[in-house]
Every structure is written in structure tokens, then in C-alpha cells.
């Protein structure tokens, strides 16, 4: 299965990536090879099989809804690229 330049642009946008023209060309070429690899799956008969999402099939454990973490707001915000008065700064969203 081949993939068009439009498909690449559509996927890049979904993934919030901005690709240069050269990167788009490279992506289209490598996608063709990767899709050829993964399309080999279609030859397997899986009609009676349940999908296996996880090697260890068990339900998620539940716990009491209590606070277990201490407040690390200041420590965590030390890693923020832009922070002011305890708030994360982003470009203006609402005019």
C-alpha cells in the first residue's frame, strides 16, 4: 500500500509534527517500506482469535481514593520551560 503526500500531511498534523519538504519525502518513502512490512500481517488467519492487548492478562488493581503523593509543585515546575507565579505559561489561546 502506498501513501500520498496528503496522507503524510494529515498524519503529521494528527501527531502535531511539522515536517519540512525533505522530511515529508523521506517519510513517504520509509512509510511505503514500513507498510509493506506490517501488511504481511494480513496473510495470517486470525478470524477466531481474541485480540491480546497485554501479555499479562489481568484487570487493573483498585485502591482507596486517598492522597498518596506529597505536593511537589515547586519541584515539578523547576522543569517547566516557562512558569510564572506557579502557573505554566503558553501562548494566548483565547482572543
Integer angstrom CA distances of residue 57 from 15, 46, 51, 60, 77: 29, 19, 11, 10, 37
Residue the block writes with cell 482469535: 49
Contact call for residue 18 and another protein (CB under 8 A): yes
CB closer to another protein, 61 vs 65: 61
Element (H, E) at 87: strand 87-88
Least distance to another protein, CB of residue 65, Å = 14
- In the complex, the residues that contact another protein under the rule CB under 8 A are 7-8, 11-12, 14-19, 23, 26-27, 30-31, 33-34, 36-42, 44, 46, 49-56, 60-61, 63, 72, 75-76, 78-82, 88, 90-93
Amino acid at each position: 500500500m502506498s501513501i500520498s503526500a496528503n496522507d503524510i500531511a494529515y498524519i503529521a498534523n494528527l501527531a502535531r509534527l511539522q515536517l519540512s519538504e525533505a522530511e515529508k519525502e523521506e517519510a513517504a518513502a520509509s512509510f511505503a517500506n514500513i507498510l509493506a512490512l506490517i501488511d504481511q500481517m494480513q496473510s495470517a488467519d486470525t478470524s477466531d482469535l481474541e485480540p491480546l492487548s497485554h501479555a499479562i492478562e489481568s484487570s487493573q488493581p483498585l485502591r482507596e481514593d486517598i492522597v498518596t503523593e506529597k505536593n511537589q509543585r515547586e519541584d515539578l515546575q523547576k522543569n517547566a520551560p516557562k512558569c510564572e507565579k506557579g502557573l505554566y505559561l503558553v501562548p494566548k489561546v483565547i482572543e
